[in-house]
């Protein structure tokens, strides 16, 4: 056997792949994948935070994307930068490009993967909100019915 044959996983049929993935998720205690977490967060933003579609439509162009970038940047930052950003916020200074009030900036409390995942989930939900906002802008109004 050559090296490629020993290290490459065996291809599985569709149903068997799904079953194997479910087992894998159980083993690593992964309850939801990234897409599911982002969808849940977007739903939470709408239902609990009351960030309605109309609210999003009234945001300044780019505000949702800029907020997403702030969260993604925080998630990608090393411990020193993360601490510096948290320190600034404790002293009333939001991240440089944060588009809203400081009170809405809620990064993770530490440098754990859990905090980083939460920040990426928020970023993903904000990106989804911006995509939806932009799509609503291009939908033409229905023609007026005249009798």
* Contact criterion met (CB below 8 Å) for 53 and 62: no
- The pLDDT value recorded for residue 20 is 72
- The pLDDT value recorded for residue 6 is 46
Q: Which long-range contacts (CB under 8 A, 24 or more apart) does 71-80 make?
A: 71/107, 71/119, 71/120, 71/122, 71/123, 71/126, 72/119, 72/120, 72/123, 74/107, 74/108, 74/119, 75/116, 75/117, 75/119, 75/120, 75/123, 79/111
The alpha carbon of 92 is separated from its chain's Cα centroid by a whole number of angstroms, namely: 24
* Contact criterion met (CB below 8 Å) for 105 and 89: yes
Query: Whose structure tokens read 């904000």?
Result: 126
- The pLDDT value recorded for residue 138 is 75
- Over range 122-126, report the average pLDDT: 98
d(C-alpha 126, C-alpha 64), whole Å: 6
Q: Output the average pLDDT for the chain.
A: 87
d(C-alpha 101, C-alpha 99), whole Å: 7
pLDDT single digits (tens) 12-50: 566 676 677 666 656 556 689 999 999 999 999 999 999
- The pLDDT value recorded for residue 5 is 46
- The pLDDT value recorded for residue 146 is 77
Task: Name the CA radius of gyration of the chain, rounded.
Answer: 21
- Over range 114-129, report the average pLDDT: 97
**Has this prediction a pTM greater than 0.85?**
no
For residue 144, name the pLDDT band (cuts at 50, 70, 90): confident
- Over range 50-58, report the average pLDDT: 93
pLDDT single digits (tens) 64-82: 999 999 999 999 999 999 9
């Amino acid at each position: 056997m050559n090296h490629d044959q020993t290290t490459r996983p065996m291809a599985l049929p569709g149903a068997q792949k799904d079953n194997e993935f479910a087992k894998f998720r159980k083993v690593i205690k992964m309850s939801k994948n990234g897409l599911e977490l982002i969808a849940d967060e977007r739903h939470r933003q709408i239902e609990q935070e009351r960030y309605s579609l109309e609210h999003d439509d009234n945001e300044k162009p780019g505000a949702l994307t800029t907020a997403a970038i702030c969260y993604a940047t925080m998630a990608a930052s090393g411990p020193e930068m993360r601490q510096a950003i948290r320190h600034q916020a404790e002293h009333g200074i939001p991240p440089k490009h944060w588009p809203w009030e400081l009170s809405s900036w809620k990064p993770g409390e530490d440098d754990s993967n859990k905090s980083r995942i939460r920040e990426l989930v928020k970023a993903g939900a904000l990106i989804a909100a911006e995509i939806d906002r932009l799509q609503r802008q291009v939908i033409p109004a229905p023609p007026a019915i005249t009798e």
